Amino acid sequence: MPRTFSIVVFKFEELNEEQQKQAIEMYRYRNTEWLFDSYDADDLQKSFSQQLQKFGYPGGIEAPFSLSNSQGDGVTFDYDNYFSQEELMKLADLLMKDEEEKLKKFKKFLDKLNMYATLKHTNRYYYHDHTFTLNIEYEYDFADGISEEDDEFVSKTIDELDRLITNNLREFSAKFEQQGYKEIEYRYSDEYVRGIIEESDKEFEINQAGKVIKIW
């Protein structure tokens, strides 16, 4: 024969300090995979890409990451498109601004130069500041040829730009890694979990010993 049981439940604010700690820990344990899920990861990666674009990189650069405090974790970069010559020169203006004369001389060759770059994540297992490769490729069409001196200057300047962009991306990688860990840690913090509990108006069952035993 059916029977009816009455259960007394408490709102979060009705719990004492120790019970609130128990409630937070229980909720965090039972919802670990949802506190920072794949949607949150996508949003974080979009934030990284937007920061790169704001600096001066072309839009669409992906910033895949693994942030689980394990070996090989970090943030890397991958781009399905090519950096155009115009996009590379935008970065040159930003990263070589202290070399005004060299940059001015280099720009004299641009109308005869075809320059582009690729950016690829190079390791399927690891995601950090040394698991991407930037390659700047170039060719030129000088009707009257080019002197050995000018050829060497163009080559060395492009190599320098390659190094500067690579180092700049590594700086962004380190910055994004810090941001990512900070965001993930916040999502599992007492403060964040408390906010979810209060916003969702959860209720809690207490046993005779005064311990939280269930979330309703």
Which of 50-54, 59-63, 142-146 bottoms out in mean pLDDT, i.e. has the lowest? Answer: 142-146
Q: What pLDDT is recorded for position 61?
A: 98
**Residue 83, CA distances (Å) to 92, 100, 103, 164, 180 in order:** 12, 22, 18, 15, 26
Q: Residue 44: pLDDT above 90?
A: yes
CB contact at 8 A, 91 and 161: yes
Output DSSP code: residue 168: H
Domain count of the fold of the chain: 2
Same domain, yes or no: 19 and 124: no
Which of 69, 2, 22 lies closest to 214, judged by CA?
22
Same domain, yes or no: 167 and 197: no
Residue 197 burial by Cβ neighbours in a 10 Å radius (0-12, 13-18, 19+): buried
Q: Residue 50: pLDDT above 70?
A: yes
Q: CA-CA distance, 22 to 35, in Å (whole number)?
A: 17
Same domain, yes or no: 163 and 76: yes
Q: Report the relative pairing of strands 74-75 and 65-66 from DSSP bridges.
A: antiparallel
Same domain, yes or no: 177 and 207: no
Phi and psi based region of residue 72 (left: phi greater than 0; alpha: psi -120 to 50; beta: remaining): left
Q: What pLDDT is recorded for position 6?
A: 78
Same domain, yes or no: 156 and 107: yes
Same domain, yes or no: 114 and 215: no
Per-residue pLDDT tens for 129-180?
A: 999 999 999 988 765 677 889 989 999 999 999 999 999 999 999 999 999 9
Q: What pLDDT is recorded for position 65?
A: 97
Same domain, yes or no: 51 and 158: yes
CB contact at 8 A, 176 and 184: no
Structural domain boundaries enclosing 199: 1-34+193-216
Amino acid of residue 85: Q
Per-residue pLDDT tens for 70-103?
A: 999 999 999 999 999 999 999 999 999 999 999 9
Same domain, yes or no: 108 and 164: yes
Q: Which residues does residue 138 pair with via DSSP β-bridges, in sequence order?
A: 115
Q: Which DSSP helix (H) or strand (E) runs through 132? A: strand 132-140
Q: What pLDDT is recorded for position 31?
A: 95
Same domain, yes or no: 58 and 142: yes
Same domain, yes or no: 90 and 138: yes
